[in-house]
Amino acid sequence: MCGGGRRRRAARAAAKEQARLDQLAIDNQQIIDDNNALLEIKAAEQETTLSNLNKAQETIVAGQNEATANFAAARASQQASYAAEKARIEQQNRVNQSVSQSLQVLATKDKKKKKVPMAGKDPSRKGEGNQARYNSPTKDLRVGFSEREGGVGVNLGG
């Protein structure tokens, strides 16, 4: 009968060891399940974060595209305005040039040399300069009978 007690003790010990190993397997499975749940939560958070970042990037890109389009439109408007102003100035320059040439042609004294008359000393009048001079109303009055004796004021001749 001694052999039967050993078997029972060995069976109890084996059953106890099996229960310990089963509990250890259950605990390990619980750790694995907890880790899997944590990984799923982290993956869902990453998906949400990625989705938010993609939306933010799309918003930024749309804003940049709009700013680029606005800049291009403003630049085109500015270039059109510049071109119109340049054309207006060139037209005004052509008008001014033609008016200047017309006035030059009208004012030209010597048609062959195309000279414009300038203020200056007349070469035919050697004694006079460009200064205005007083013309006396009595300059042609003569006192006396001859040219030699005639004169005005202190130049009464004689």
Instruction: Divide the 158 residues of the chain into consecutive groups of 10 and give the mean pLDDT of each group.
Output: 76 93 96 96 97 97 96 96 96 93 76 57 59 69 61 56
Does 74 reside within a domain?
A: yes
The total domain count for the chain is: 1
Q: What is the pLDDT of residue 4?
A: 73
Is there a domain that residue 93 lies in?
A: yes
Judge whether 130 lies within some domain. no
CB-CB contact of 122 with 115 (8 Å): no
- For residue 154, the model assigns a pLDDT of 60
Query: In which domain, by residue range, is 33 found?
Result: 7-108
Structural domain contains residue 64: yes
Distance, C-alpha 127 to centroid of its chain? 64
Specify if 23 maps to a domain: yes
* 42: in domain: yes
In a domain, 15, yes or no: yes
